[in-house]
Structure 1
Amino acid sequence: MKGKLLTIALTGIIALNQGCTTKKEEKSDQKEEKPLSLIVVEPGHFHAALVQKSMYADVNPLVHVYASEGPDVKAYLDKVEKYNTRAEDPTKWEEKVYTGPDFLEKMLSEKKGNVVVLAGNNQKKTDFIKKSVDASLNVLADKPMAIDAAGFDLLKEAFTSAEKNKVLLYDIMTERYEITNTLQRELAELPDIFGDLQKGTPSDPAVAKESVHHFFKYISGEALVRPTWFFDVNQQGEGMVDVTTHLVDLVQWSCFPNVTLDYQKDIKLLSTKRSATQMTPSQFKLVTKSDTYPEFLKKDVKDSILNVYSNGEINYTLKGVHAKVSVIWNFQAPEGTGDTHYSIMKGSKANLIVRQGKDQKYKPVLYIEQVSKDKGYEEALTKSFKTVQDKFPGIELKKNTKGWEITIPAKYDTGHESHFAQVANKYMEYLKAGKLPEWEVPNMISKYYTTTQALKQAKAGK
């Protein structure tokens, strides 16, 4: 029923716009009658293109793009074109582009679709979110949806507006779909394997997650060119409110699955810290193709070295459980390596650990390491593990000196880029249902409270 309503609504939107389009545009706009139609706004981050690396059964291939003119929108269009022209399983997106300083106002007045995709300059993103949901448009937004305390307050208003206007606002949490993170959560729900989640202490947290990222990397086989504003924390956000969003989300999602959190009662910040990654002019040129630092970065330059506050650490409790999340940005990974992730959840019977270092050939590997002295643990583990194998056929236990390694078939290791389609498909399921799970909105609010308040605290030197 919801799909039919979306189709009717979209048809109405198209009809309203027929009077100001050409005959060619009218024909193109109506050639695919599908319930969902994308509007891409100011696509300044490569994640915008990754949402379109796949086609979707319920999404019109015609995409309306509204942006300011410049290299950001061009880079986005170039990536989509590469997906359209690739030899294997090419996409079939048709991009209709409007560029101009009034791109947002134009989008809001025309409403050429019903799902706004936002992945770009984070300084403007929260405002774009709020105005989109105010206009009764659904929004799928790249993280982070807020980068400071003022943005958090506006984001709360956006969620209230979305509920009032019966639209869905959702952020792109790709890390939930990385198989080792998924299995870590699954195993933590099995008492015979994990036991009970420990409370931990400030010096020995029960849950810890660390991500190491790199400014210079390859995406879809090509060296990534980042916009110069990406290195301005006023526009991109500091590391504490950017990548850390994923880590805070995984703590909530893994430790308290499907539980509604109250940010005012369940979260207590203990300590925070931030630091800068330094870049030389030649490194900046390599990753941005810009010969000079733009004026807005001069504040962060000392003796020709750019200081980017991309590193952060948050120590806090969530419903009494001590957690620590940290993110580190280096310029470039050593050859043969890449971004890495470390995660540990401590249970009364075993610790669940994801490692991604040299021993794992820089691929994430999940381990079960027994901490209890129960002699019957291995038998109970093997029996309980069968319930996970039923959900994920092919995974196996491999005993080692410290415990067990989870061996995972290659079919589950689809890579970071594929996770965008998985998030988008899940979001589309929610759109069909007409609602998000009860816990998603309060937990998104809790997540952004944690990151933005941590940044505020770190800047105050606490």
Structure 2
Amino acid sequence: MKFLSVAALLVMPVVSTTLSVQAQTRATGKPVKLITLDPGHFHAALVQKSMYPDVDPVVHVYAPAGPDLQLHLDRLQTYNGRRESPTTWQAKVYTGKDFMEKMLAAKAGNVVVMAGNNRLKTDYIHKAVSAGFNVLADKPMVINAGNFDKLKDAFAVAARNKVMLYDIMTERFEISTMLQREFSMLPDVFGTLEKGTPDNPAVTKESVHHFYKYVSGSVLTRPAWFMDVTQQGEGIVDVTTHLVDLIQWECFPDQIIDYKKDIKLTDARRWTTDMTRSQFNAITKLNGFPDYLKKDVVKDSVLKVYSNGEINYQVRGVNAKVSVVWAYQAPEGAGDTHYSIMRGTKANLIIRQGAEQQYKPTLYVEPIAGGAAFESRLMASLKTVQQKFPGVDLKKLDKGWEVIIPDSYKEGHEAHFARVMENFLSYLKAGKLPEWEVPNMIAKYYTTTRALELAKQNQPTASGK
């Protein structure tokens, strides 16, 4: 299909259909038909960076005409036109003001992908599952405590309608994190997870991100609303979604977390990142701040974005801390970074990603008490890891061991979107999610939205104002 410029985008009529998923499958041979709703974030395109055997190449896109939509279509065109493993997506676009209503009525597909402006995302999710669509949504599904109950209800509605509601947790497919989880399940090496204290948590995850970055080989153009926390969400409810998810996924693998009984907030805080007008212009391709951002601008030239946050909390009595920091641009040769530690009774499992690691995530096993006995247990347990991850090895250091990971496992963040999609498709085929996924998503979003409320209580006014 020819990709159209914004000026030439057709408001394409969408014919309502009552064809069942089974009928659609008989017609095309593909059981999954994607719909992309209002794509404003580049993650919407990354889901389609690969092709999938069970997914129809025709994707219906419902969105308002504008630069967000055009950037999405341009990315798809890039994937279709690349020399190596080109995709074959065909986008059928509807840009009428009633795009949401048209999507719900037309039922042109059975899976709705959402990655964009988060202000209405919870509403979109609720309407989609109520209409019988499966939903694969980028994080965060909800950005404030006021909509938490609506998200909870959306999960209940999805269950009644026998559809799936799932979020895109790419970090579960980062190999150093996968191996950190794997080593933590080896009692002869890790022991058991410590309980920790608020001042010395048993689990800490810290993430540093950058507004100016490269995606698919080009400098990422960010929509201006990305810097508006009423539309994107504050940092404490955005990237921390991944970190809270990983704590649940690693510390309590395949276990249900009940947010009412298992989650206890201890403390939370938030702070701003300053961005000059010229920096803002460089990443948005605009000339100055739009009116809706002027509430966050001081001295007419510095935008203050509440993109940073920290949460101290307990999960089943285990003290944990997550924090996210957004800088404007990474140092030369660096990128987004991640630090993580799980403290066990026999060893600590630590992911570092600094200059010493050449900004590549690297996992270390550091024993509490070393010696020949621990080394013998570690080497014996390594064989268990190698059965699942062939080629993984250990390199002895002064303080412990570095986990040596073959390059074949190091796919990179963009490739993880295909892994999430493949996982989701397997759940669709099976007709159900693992029993712990839904309660744990609810627990995760309770943690982030409640933390935002707590942080606002601790610091009700913007810094610098």
Q: Please give the residue correspondences for 1:258-273 in structure 2 after superposition, counting only pairs within 5 Å.
A: 258-273=254-269
Q: 1:402 pairs with 399, 402, 406, which one?
A: 399
Q: 2:458 — aligned with what?
A: 461
Q: Distance in 2 between matches of 1:153 and 1:289?
A: 37
The verdict on how the C-alpha distance between 1:14 and 1:109 changes in structure 2, with shifts beyond 3 A counting, is farther
Identity of aligned residues (%): 62
Q: 2:242 pairs with 228, 233, 246, which one?
A: 246
SS at match of 1:236: coil
Q: Distance in 1 between matches of 2:126 and 2:330?
A: 37
Q: 1:10 — aligned with what?
A: 21
Q: Distance in 2 between matches of 1:13 and 1:293?
A: 46
Q: 1:57 pairs with 30, 44, 53, which one?
A: 53
Q: 2:178 pairs with 153, 178, 182, which one?
A: 182
Q: Distance in 2 between matches of 1:343 and 1:100?
A: 45
Q: Distance in 1 between matches of 2:446 and 2:138?
A: 17
Instruction: State the Cα distance separating 1:11 from its structure 2 match.
Output: 5.3
Which TM-score applies when normalising by structure 1? 0.94
Q: 2:413 — aligned with what?
A: 416
Q: 2:228 — aligned with what?
A: 232
Q: 1:302 — aligned with what?
A: 298
How many equivalent pairs are there? 441
Q: 2:84 — aligned with what?
A: 88
Question: Given the alignment of the two structures, is residue 447 of structure 1 paired with residue 458 of structure 2, yes or no?
Answer: no
Question: Given the alignment of the two structures, is residue 326 of structure 1 paired with residue 323 of structure 2, yes or no?
Answer: yes
Instruction: State the Cα distance separating 1:450 from its structure 2 match.
Output: 0.1
Q: 2:345 — aligned with what?
A: 348
Q: 2:73 — aligned with what?
A: 77
SS at match of 1:88: coil
Question: Given the alignment of the two structures, is residue 164 of structure 1 paired with residue 160 of structure 2, yes or no?
Answer: yes
SS at match of 2:139: coil
Instruction: State the Cα distance separating 1:189 from its structure 2 match.
Output: 0.5
Matched letter for residue 259 of structure 1: Q
Matched letter for residue 390 of structure 2: P
Matched letter for residue 438 of structure 2: V
Can you give the 5+ residue segments of structure 1 that lack an aligned partner in the other structure?
1-7, 16-29
Superposition RMSD in Å: 1.3
Q: 2:206 pairs with 210, 217, 236, which one?
A: 210
CA deviations over 1:332-375 (Å, ceiling 9, x no partner): 00111000000000000000000000000000000000003564
Question: Given the alignment of the two structures, is residue 367 of structure 1 paired with residue 364 of structure 2, yes or no?
Answer: yes
Question: Given the alignment of the two structures, is residue 317 of structure 1 paired with residue 310 of structure 2, yes or no?
Answer: no
Q: 2:289 — aligned with what?
A: 293
Tell whether the 8 Å contact from 2:25 to 2:31 is kept in structure 1 after alignment.
Answer: no
Q: Distance in 2 between matches of 1:389 and 1:425?
A: 23
Question: Given the alignment of the two structures, is residue 378 of structure 1 paired with residue 375 of structure 2, yes or no?
Answer: yes
Matched letter for residue 198 of structure 1: E
Which TM-score applies when normalising by structure 2? 0.93
Matched letter for residue 417 of structure 1: E
Q: 2:388 — aligned with what?
A: 391
- Structure whose residues are more often helix by fraction: 1
CA deviations over 1:100-130 (Å, ceiling 9, x no partner): 2110000000010000000000011111000
Q: 1:24 — aligned with what?
A: none
Q: 2:127 pairs with 121, 126, 131, which one?
A: 131
Question: Given the alignment of the two structures, is residue 357 of structure 1 paired with residue 354 of structure 2, yes or no?
Answer: yes
CA deviations over 1:258-300 (Å, ceiling 9, x no partner): 0001000000000100000000000000000010101110100
Tell whether the 8 Å contact from 1:14 to 1:112 is kept in structure 2 after alignment.
Answer: no
Question: Given the alignment of the two structures, is residue 220 of structure 1 paired with residue 216 of structure 2, yes or no?
Answer: yes
Q: 1:3 — aligned with what?
A: none
Tell whether the 8 Å contact from 1:13 to 1:111 is kept in structure 2 after alignment.
Answer: no
Q: 1:256 pairs with 252, 274, 277, which one?
A: 252
Q: Distance in 2 between matches of 1:425 and 1:11?
A: 20
Q: 2:98 — aligned with what?
A: 102
Q: Distance in 2 between matches of 1:294 and 1:125?
A: 22
Can you give the 5+ residue segments of structure 2 that lack an aligned partner in the other structure?
1-18, 460-465
CA deviations over 1:102-161 (Å, ceiling 9, x no partner): 100000000100000000000111110000000000000000000000221110010000
